[in-house]
Amino acid sequence: MPDPTMAEVVGNPNPKSIVRLGTTRSITVIAVVVAAQLGSAGLAIGVATAAGPGLTTVVAVSIDGTTGRWTPIEPTAKASAAPVAATAPATAPPAPTPDPSVVPTTPVAPQTITPTAASTPPVDEPSSPNEPEPTARS
Amino acid sequence: MRTTSKIKSVLVIAATGTLLGIGGIAIAAFVQSSTAGPVAGSAESFSTVTVTGAQTGILLPGESAYVTLTLTNPNSNVKARLASITAGEVVIDTVDDSADTAYCHDQIELSTVGADPLFPTLAVSEANYPFKLTDAVKLKADTDIRCQAMTFHTTWTANFEAVR
């Protein structure tokens, strides 16, 4: 009875060479599985190796700076602006000054006159015209 | 009979594949642990590198200032290699007239061209490594008085890579 796992290859020039098909298939499948497993293991090693240098960190830093002072290129631009603002309030005060001077003079004038006029009323004095001396006093 | 043989073959293949798979994982784990030393697995720890900086000098129009970064690697397990450094932005903090902020912002230029040509690799736990950027901050020559005595700050970004 012929072995079912053995068969003669059709067209084989050497009829004595017989291939064990089942065994070949098994070996092929095993080889594929082995290759796949080793491949995945190698991939894992590769990933692990790459993971080390692949670690990165990003750092942001802030740095303070300042600028100095230097001579203005156009000093007149700002110099002319300032005096204008300064002269405006300076000229304003002279106007009010006349007002206070007017206020005191008006009451003074009538009052200075009034006493002299009041002093004159002693018209009663002429009632004694015999004495011309009082007129000399004034 | 043929069916039984095939089933046997499949079972043998499956068993072999499983064993080889376990073996492959074991190989991977072995190689990985031997590479990483005391750290198990692929997740190596890498703490952020500390960077502080200072700018030299007070700028007048047309002048440039150096920026010196001080680098410290806090990691005791890996070295830290400076991979890149980039200039960020300019932020005006104070200026005489706030309306001039935009103008003064545009008068400052940042550059990394003058950085030290060799990017350092900080040793494990190495501290206070100075890294200089020559002419990193420049105030344009045509800057007018609106920007005098202003204060500002510049931002810089450093990228570090963990190496063995």
Give the pLDDT mean for A7-23.
57
Testing the interface with B: which of A59, A71, A74, A78 to mutate, by most B Cβ within 10 A? A59
Give the Cα separation of B51 and A62 in Å (integer): 9
**DSSP H helices in A13-67:** 21-54
- pLDDT category of residue B6 using cuts at 50, 70 and 90: confident
Q: What is the DSSP string of chain B?
A: -HHHHHHHHHHHHHHHHHHHHHHHHHHHHHHHHHHHTTS-SS----PPPEEEEEE-S-B-TT-EEEEEEEEE---SSSEEEEEEEEEEEEEEEE-SSGGGHHHHHHTEEE--TEE-SS--EEPTT---EEEEEEEEEEE-TT--GGGTT-EEEEEEEEEEEEE-
Cα-based angle A81, B151, B139 (whole degrees, multiple of 5): 85
Determine, for residues B24 and A60 on separate chains, whether the beta-carbon distance falls below 8 Å. Answer: no
Closest CA to B74 of B117, B116, B129: B129
pLDDT over 70 for what percent of chain B?
77
Segment A47-99, tens digit of pLDDT: 434 344 478 999 999 999 999 998 765 655 544 444 443 344 444 444 444 44
Give the pLDDT mean for B152-156.
97
Determine, for residues A67 and B21 on separate chains, whether the beta-carbon distance falls below 8 Å. Answer: no
Give the pLDDT mean for A6-19.
55
What letter would DSSP give residue A67? B
Q: What pLDDT, on the 0 to 100 scale, is given for residue B14?
A: 61
- pLDDT category of residue B3 using cuts at 50, 70 and 90: low
A67 interface with B at CB cutoff 8 Å: yes
- pLDDT category of residue A131 using cuts at 50, 70 and 90: very low
More confident residue, B134 or B23: B134
| Position A20 pLDDT exceeds 80 | no
Determine, for residues A56 and B83 on separate chains, whether the beta-carbon distance falls below 8 Å. Answer: yes
- pLDDT category of residue B83 using cuts at 50, 70 and 90: very high
- pTM for the full model? 0.50
Q: What pLDDT, on the 0 to 100 scale, is given for residue A38?
A: 54
| Position B85 pLDDT exceeds 80 | yes
Chain B contact set for A44 (CB, 8 A): 24-25, 28, 32
| Position A39 pLDDT exceeds 60 | no
Confidence check on the interface: ipTM exceeds 0.85, yes or no: no
Q: What pLDDT, on the 0 to 100 scale, is given for residue B79?
A: 96
| Position B62 pLDDT exceeds 60 | yes
Give the pLDDT mean for A111-137.
41
**DSSP H helices in A1-20:** none
Q: What pLDDT, on the 0 to 100 scale, is given for residue B4?
A: 66
More confident residue, A71 or B156: B156
Q: What pLDDT, on the 0 to 100 scale, is given for residue B106?
A: 97
Chain B contact set for A55 (CB, 8 A): 44, 46, 78, 161-162
Q: What pLDDT, on the 0 to 100 scale, is given for residue B161?
A: 95
Segment B91-150, tens digit of pLDDT: 999 999 999 999 999 999 999 999 999 999 999 999 999 999 999 999 999 999 999 999
Cα-based angle A18, A21, A24 (whole degrees, multiple of 5): 110
- Show Cβ contacts of residue A15 under 8 Å, excluding neighbours closer than 6 positions: A8
